[in-house]
Structure 1
């Protein structure tokens, strides 16, 4: 393991939908080969001359490794130069490289950019980035991945017009707090999976200039960014994306996310897309197209643990699988969702549409075709919206009305302030009355309001035959000075939050089980030589089970569970160690919802008992494997759950013993 490159581990991870850099039970075992010119020199290094410089060259590019500093000359790095995966300077992390110095113009041709500066966990400084010529570069995959000590990068001068692969480019840069990617041309990029995965200290990210029209995978693209508080992806073209699995998984501090432009006619996998984004209050999926998501497993965790969600906008191309993990709306008192139905006078604070239990709302979207609708907690939510616009505008005949010229600011229904009209529209702002004929003199009222809100701001637009240049279109304020609408009190900009425990994580003292093969490790930083037990993938009823004792993070910030093995039929019973907390590998054992059809099936070979009390005392009867039971509701008992049956008895909600639906 000590001679294994983390860069190769990252590459292995891109083939699986995981927040980990490596699938927990499939650690790579093949070390990258060492370039010949480096091998001969390494053989000469002894305990007495460890400080001797290591030198060599790749074509006309020379390098020197001395005192934890890499010096690179100018020249051209060609595709075959990193044919073994990494370069001499990042092949061995034990070199402890802290600085890279580029001394002259350095061209990166073809896929030579892959892993170029990655796999150096102690790297803090790169001097001479302005010398890089990346105009011929086709791959930047994992280019800076695993650089756990880098705190800032300004890459705004890089030429990216020919880059095809940016997968894992910054993955695992756990101390990165500033990343500048302005002026990038990403029009040819088709892979962005894992691109910013687990950059756990990054508080903000501007990708507004990205052209994503050719990207087919965004899997785990922003996953595990637990300090990220807002993300504007309103410019993203997602029409060719096939997988968005885990795209925002475990982004637990993310309070605002603009995906309102996401049109996804080719997407096939959205499992875990928003899972664990436990601070999100609203999602606008009006354009989302899930028509090609045909496997229930590819949708199951779409909304898992989005516990703050209180406003959900769904469009006509949305459909839900019956096993989708949608929770109750935050702030509600009944656990039900309700359609606003503004057509009959419903508002966010006083909805008038149909009331849905979680299961019924999922069933309502069992097939596509439901018109765009906004859903809030039953009986409504607090509508904090306030919109400020110019009260009057004057246009010349033939002038063009642009809503941006009237808009000043808005407070969203959830209380977020913005001065950007596009952001407000992403949060559901609608504009009415703007389709008037500008070629005829007259006055027109243009309204601004959030969908479902009864709080409307109005701009009076005057088409003045005597005003301005008839061929112009410049918007000028009227000379009238009516009392302006009250200015909303600005909401302080959100402050970056330190890494926290994501919302999808199982609580301490609760039970989890492994869906796939996992290892129990001695320490939270997983290494092959510290594995204690391997747990193979098992059928549902035999899945290995653990009790969560505590949480811990690896040296690169990845969250893991500290657990006790409670598999009483194994020799490992009682062992204590660490396992992955990745939601796709380990989940809570107990159901947290009532099935859509209110039916469960007994799957335990030994059957289950039914009890008079929710603490499972007072046994009344037993049910055999295959028995179908009708559920009235789900009840909690300490850190477990039970199903209350229609006959008034209680049974366990343990997923190893019962399953939702009829089987």
Structure 2
């Protein structure tokens, strides 16, 4: 064979080898595994190819994907680099898309999901599972009516915030277990009427940690979700829902409907078990004119027992009737968190809080408030109320502010400036326990505050049952103190008239009082006649001829709270009748082992008074009572000498 022929063959062989290498490179870009499903009529016969470009973008080209989902998808080797996926038109995935886009930790975007033809797909389980950094996902064009497995479909998509499934068509057999597990930042979820949850999708509850919502200026405060209803996603107006409620509402047997759910953004919540109204961080520009302005008033104002206010709750403008009609409320927790610095109207704020026994408003800032009318009206269980820090310099309307506070005992308005006041009608009306009132030099009553007269019916002071009032007038404390005033007495109307102009003085007024009841020694033996006696070699012991009877009366109203009382007796010397200088000294009287001589008192009786008992009587038999002891040679002649016994009733000293 000629030499040039051999060289030609070698050249052709080299060309063949080069051609073969090009085919291998092209094949590496195709899905070259054996088809796992039959090709459907109308589907292309061209196999889809994929590539990773220099920007770490996975591009899936048009065609038919025939890989078996039991193996890793071919781009898995790049799972730590892929940041974006682009899907070209007319990509036909296999029946099982299990983990098709799953576990791509750097993936942030998927473009062209609408180009996936999914009408024959039966398995979308774990489709996007573990895509931690995926920020947006549009699945509205996925055809799902043949899908039987959606378990873990979006599991652990931790940065996905919105998901719209309104176009999903799901079958009663479709597995939805753990479908939303780990989607802790998903705050907006739309479900369509053909969504069916056959197993718990484990939608996470709202975080409930007072965080600012991803959109708008609202905060999430509870673990509930909320229907958007007629509102917007950042201003929902529908009812609250727990994740269990949502799961149940989309079971096969439920009347399902299209609905968008967002994290609960309500700035208040009512716990029906504890009857607690909670107000969360929120700012309101309020134009309230009555209680209908506040959303809880319609259903919960009569049943609320506790109001809890979280930090950051602020109202600008009117607080009118904020807690009005809370007739069962017992406690306000966190009232110091209520920002009143921009308040203009506090009228009716605590109106008819009839069960409330304590209220701390010392943190209130009221410099801009012009309306205080009825603020505490009918808070009838409050005994004490400190409003001394109120700035009332801009106040115009104060009518009935403290009306019907029937348990209120004291009120200090000495720091108040009422020079701008226009209406003080009934400011102090119907306060029949108010016995201590302090008014300052800048207090003005342009209209009658209706200060109640003192009761004048021997009424005990509300906080001191040992003092009673007996005069309908009030009394200026003056140089005395509240329980022992020393100033002149005034009728209630005179107090009002004293605060009309710049002649007003800083004064404290109280009910005139006197002691209530007493501990009285009602009776003792008028005289002790010693007749019978027992003789001994040393002394003569004389007993009284009759029993020795005593009586004590205790009419103190708080006697059960007082210490025990005791009856003491002491004895003087025997004195000669008509010759007082002649005396028999020594220990001549004797009781229960103790001598009464030399003016040393001896306790005869000791008792603790009882609330339901005011009279105490007792009797000593002659041999048990006070006895006379005289030496035999110094027995006085009958009728020639006399001695004095002194009785003293006293409370025992407190230690």
TM-score of the alignment, normalized to the shorter chain, above 0.5: no
TM-score using structure 2 length: 0.36
Instruction: State which structure, 1 or 2, has the greater radius of gyration over its C-alpha atoms.
Output: 2
